[in-house]
Chains A and B, each alone.
Chain A
């Protein structure tokens, strides 16, 4: 399997929307 590691996730708001079974990425999420 491939793995999306934490280096590539940096600065994105990574949203685990379990209720709707989806994962979201918001740019510049830490600021």
Chain B
């Protein structure tokens, strides 16, 4: 779109992502990791033949599972700890359990080094959970992953975390094995789970950026929808998260950019200055769900015009969480309904297409050389606005099925 143009005009032939990987770079004065889509051509899993790439419908269905999981966690006001009696009994130790949110599949991958000498691991990064983990040797129950398992014996700087250590005590729940090792368990909302020892070792973000003594989970029993990822990088707000542990070196913040298509690359950086053109809104804390980053969404514009939504609609819904792992933005029903109607008014010249899973406002651009859609702008407390890129407005399954990339949180009374 041209600057200040209320429409995105695009070539229909460019709707689908390329088959080859393209690169971009982060600012040079930060510790930056390349971010790629888990199932795109830039992913190391793609290079090794990622036969398990899900369909668009599957991605969206799993996205709904993640959202349901977030809602359950919020409803439970703090996410009560859950102990799996069968597992605890089997292993002879009462394992701590922390119910996290569902992983879904719309996740992005970064590559980090662990141990000394450092070996590289491709991990999902997630702003919706805190504990980082990788699969470790020896492993009782590990899924097939991209790289060889992390082997503590091969690292000169590896150490287990003792049960009495502060890091162990600060987990939401913790327990102790018979040899005084701190055991963790995270059960995600889709029943995926990881169990293992809480350990520490050197985390390498770049050749010149190392975090000695980084605390993470050394998973020895991991099952569920992890794909072939080597593990997970937790970027939530609690003390065990990477941003919290890296705060003494980089400050407590971080910045990422997600690429416009699955064939592009973005970055995740620590310690760099915020971009000069950034507009800020308040980061809100909810003490019942302290891992999540909340902000206040207050309005929406379509085609440059404000959609009529009472501002109380957003607040009454319980606020808005920003999440790197949820694919599709969820809006309170009244807000979504108003957005959908406004968007559809601009799209009358295009043929409607069948709904795609949770996306109910879809169009068929077959036969068009170029097309246009209205811009969509999100407004946050304090006057901050996000004028979404084209890729943030339409979810393109194919030329004959491109959908408004928003959904409703669902019936509040359900």
Contacts and interface: CB of A to CB of B under 8 A. Distances in A.
Interface of A: 1-31
Contacts of A28: 277
Contacts of A20: 280
A6 B278 CA distance: 17
Nearest 8 A/B pairs, CB to CB: A26-B275, A24-B278, A18-B252, A26-B278, A2-B320, A1-B318, A5-B326, A30-B257
Contacts of B108: 6
B120 to A, nearest CB: 22
A1 B234 CA distance: 21
A20 B252 CA distance: 10
Contacts of B405: 7-8
Contacts, number: 182
B350 interface: no
28 contacts: A1-B71, A1-B318, A1-B321, A1-B409, A2-B318, A3-B67, A3-B326, A3-B330, A4-B297, A5-B63, A6-B106, A7-B391, A8-B388, A9-B258, A16-B254, A16-B283, A17-B283, A19-B251, A21-B283, A22-B280, A22-B282, A23-B283, A24-B275, A24-B281, A26-B274, A26-B278, A28-B277, A30-B265
A31 to B, nearest CB: 6
B215 to A, nearest CB: 18
B267 interface: yes
A15 B272 CA distance: 10
A15 B235 CA distance: 13
B280 A14 contact: no
Nearest to B409: A2
Nearest to B268: A14
Interface of B: 24, 63, 67, 70-71, 74, 106, 108, 127, 235, 237, 243, 247, 251-260, 264-267, 274-283, 285, 293, 295, 297, 314, 317-332, 335, 378, 384, 386-389, 391-392, 395, 405-406, 409
B255 A10 contact: no
Chain A CB within 10 A, most for which of B266, B327, B330: B266
A17 B297 CA distance: 18
B90 to A, nearest CB: 36
B319 A2 contact: yes
A19 B253 contact: yes
Q: Is the interface of A mostly helix, strand, loop or mixed?
A: mixed
Nearest to A9: B258
Contacts of A23: 280-283, 293, 295, 322
Contacts of A17: 253, 274, 280, 283
Nearest to A30: B257
Given A1-B71, A7-B327, A18 B257 contact: no
A15 B321 CA distance: 15
A5 B331 contact: no
A2 B283 contact: no
Contacts of B127: 16
A4 B323 contact: yes
B322 A14 contact: yes
B230 to A, nearest CB: 20
B360 to A, nearest CB: 16
Given A7-B395, A18-B283, A30 B384 contact: no
A30 B260 CA distance: 9
Contact of B386 (A3, A6, A12, A15): A12
B71 A15 contact: no
Contacts of B264: 30
Contacts of B321: 1-4
Contact of B258 (A1, A2, A6, A21): A6
B280 A6 contact: no
A11 B395 CA distance: 14
A14 B256 contact: yes
B317 A1 contact: yes
Contact of B320 (A3, A19, A21, A26): A3
B270 to A, nearest CB: 10
B279 A13 contact: no
Given A18-B243, A27-B387, 8 more contacts: A2-B409, A5-B63, A6-B325, A8-B378, A11-B391, A13-B257, A16-B254, A17-B283
